[in-house]
Amino acid sequence: MRWEELDREPCSLARSLSIVGDRWTLLVLRECFLRVRRFEEFEQRLGIARHVLADRLKKLTDAGVLTKVPYQERPRREEYRLTEKGLDLYPVMLSLLDWGDKWMSGAEGPPVIRRHKACGQVVHAVHTCSECGEPLDARSMTVELGPGAKGAELPSETAEGSSAK
Amino acid sequence: MRWEELDREPCSLARSLSIVGDRWTLLVLRECFLRVRRFEEFEQRLGIARHVLADRLKKLTDAGVLTKVPYQERPRREEYRLTEKGLDLYPVMLSLLDWGDKWMSGAEGPPVIRRHKACGQVVHAVHTCSECGEPLDARSMTVELGPGAKGAELPSETAEGSSAK
DNA sequence: CTTGACAGGTTCCGTTTCGGAACCCATTGT
DNA sequence: ACAATGGGTTCCGAAACGGAACCTGTCAAG
């Protein structure tokens, strides 16, 4: 599997990673969710090399995750904003955030907390089944080939004592 | 922000990315969730360069995401299994999977589907508030510095017309 | 009307990381 | 004695990254 062909893999994870699966992209998107929009501000807050930032913003824009919105003419200046496709990455951010809070925080606790506007509580996300509403975890799901599977195969099920079963 | 110091950033997303934020790690973990455990099998299924695979497996093992379990002696052979910390990454996989299903699938639909054992339905994950149970999205949350924030700052809130508000 | 600042890039160069192939090593099968 | 197996390590050229310098419109100041 080559990196440049990831987006054509018959796997939604691979396809997602063809967009967000590199060192910087999710950090750029973190800033977007924190309402950062301008080149300079991304650069200053992230300490990213300018041409890498330019490349990521271009790729995210080409992918439809960000969109350039002019905020002045003469000289023309544009800022980057999340599209609906980009906003939809929020669950990805949240999952990584919650995992980091749980497994990568020191004794002091997490560095940033999130509060739910609706209930006012400090919260984390619970993944629930879209059909029955029960919480989901790795052991409660099975996978099957779907309609878009062309020649893909799942590994054989012969293994036993699975930790991921 | 340097890549080697990501794990010391006061940000759970950065800390998570210090472990899973590269080209291959989440694909290796995808295989783990599909019950792949052996070096050769990872290599064949992923088409990853052997030394890159060896490096990722070592880093994941050092990070406590995978653990090496001997399955024979003489010659000693070990396989890689997800730890609890690794299994806890399932929501991350699921979020990326669902996003890819929604935004990266062609007209045929997603290549792989997931079925919830408990209810038997094909499902996707819904992120809900751990406190009130309502669905969460980017616009329903506010962020605040938490107990582990040392000197970190959130961007100023002066921006208006926010698309991520 | 020349100089400087500002926002947003692009170019260049030296260091890392990656992809691919070859090689290593202990043990068992033929 | 020799090949196969599983799990790596080594080596090389290509791609990506980090850092600094440079470029491009436009306006404002001297």
Which of 5-34 (A) contact B at CB < 8 A?
7, 10-23, 26-27, 30-34
Which of 50-109 (A) contact B at CB < 8 A?
64, 81-82, 85, 87-106, 108-109
Instruction: Name the DSSP letter for residue B3.
Output: G
Whether residue A85 is predicted with pLDDT greater than 70 in this model: the reply is yes
Q: What is the pLDDT of residue B163?
A: 37
pLDDT above 70 covers a percentage of chain A that reads: 93
Question: Residues 68-107, chain B: which have Cβ under 7 A from strand D?
Answer: 75, 77-79
Distance of CA A31 to the CA centre of its chain: 12
Among A65, A87, A69, smallest CA distance to A21 is for: A65
Whether residue A112 is predicted with pLDDT greater than 70 in this model: the reply is yes
Both tokens assigned to A128 = 């629930």
Whether residue A164 is predicted with pLDDT greater than 90 in this model: the reply is no
Q: How far is the CA of A29 from the C1' of C15 (A)?
A: 27
Which of strand D's nucleotides are less than 7 A from any protein C-beta? 5-11, 16-21, 25-27
| Domains located in chain A, CATH noted | 1-88 (1.10.10.10), 90-141 (no CATH)
Residue B104 · residue A7 · CB < 8 Å = yes
Higher pLDDT, B149 or A101: A101
Q: Which of B9, B37, B82, B95 to mutate to test the interface with A (most CBs of A within 10 A)?
A: B95
Which of 116-135 (B) contact A at CB < 8 A?
116-119, 121-134
* Per-residue model confidence as pLDDT tens digits over A27-48: 999 999 999 999 999 999 999 9
- Determine the average pLDDT of the residues in A87-100: 97
Q: What is the pLDDT of residue B48?
A: 96
Of all nucleotides, the one whose C1′ comes closest to residue B73's CA is C27
- Residue found under tokens 């783990």: B32
Whether residue A9 is predicted with pLDDT greater than 80 in this model: the reply is yes
Query: Nearest 5 degrees, angle CA A90-CA A91-CA A97?
Result: 90
Q: Tell me the pLDDT of chain B (165 aa) as tens digits.
A: 888 889 989 999 999 999 999 999 999 999 999 999 999 999 999 999 999 999 999 999 999 999 999 998 888 899 999 999 999 999 999 999 999 999 999 899 999 999 999 999 999 999 999 999 999 998 999 999 999 887 777 776 544 333 333
